[in-house]
Amino acid sequence: MQKRTISISFDEYTSLEELNSQDQILCLEAKKAMSNSHSPYSGFRVGVAVQLESGRIVYGSNQENVAYPSGLCAERVALFMIGTTYPDDKIISMAITAQTDHFLIKEPVTSCGACLQVMAEYEKKQSYPINVMFYCLNGAIIRTSGIKSLLPFAFEETRLQK
C-alpha cells in the first residue's frame, strides 16, 4: 500500500474589489446572467459568465423543469453553448454566482459534480487550464486555476477515444 496526499491551491478574496478589473467584470456579468434563470420550483438562481480567448463572454443560467431531472445547471448551459457555437475558442475564465429569496447565501456556491466533470472535459479538450471563480454576492470569492483543483479524480478513459 502507498499513501498519497492531494493538495489543492486556490485564492480567496473577501470582496469583489480585491479582484483585477477583468475578473470583477466577469463576476458582475455572472450576476446579470442570473436574471435569465428559470427556477420557479427551487427559487435558487444561478448565473455564469464565461470569458473566451476571443474576448467573447458567453452566459448561462440554470433552467429547471417540473420533471426535475430534465433541468440543467448554468455551467453546462454555457459550456454546451460554447461547444456548439464557438468550439475552437478557448475558455479562459468562468465566474459563477447564485442567489435565492429564501435565505442569505453567505459562502460561494460551488459547482455540482456533473458540472465539474463537464468542465474537466472542456479543459482537457482545449489543453489549457480554465480559471474558475465562485462569487458570493456581497461576499467572498474563491478563484482556482484549472479544474484539477476542483475535481482531482475526473473521469478519463483514453481508450474511449478513437
Q: Which residues, including other chains, have CB under 8 Å from residue 159's CB and lie 6 or more apart?
A: none
Radius of gyration of the chain (CA): 16
12-24 in b/e form (b: 16+ CB < 10 A) is: ebeebeebeeebb
75 included as an active-site residue: yes
DSSP structure string for 39-81: -TTT-EEEEEEEEETTS-EEEEE-B--SSGGG-B-HHHHHHHH
Write down the catalytic residue from 17, 75, 123, 156. 75
Q: In what order do the strands lie in the sheet with 44-52?
A: 11-13, 141-145, 131-135, 91-100, 44-52, 57-61
User: Which of the residues are catalytic?
Assistant: 75
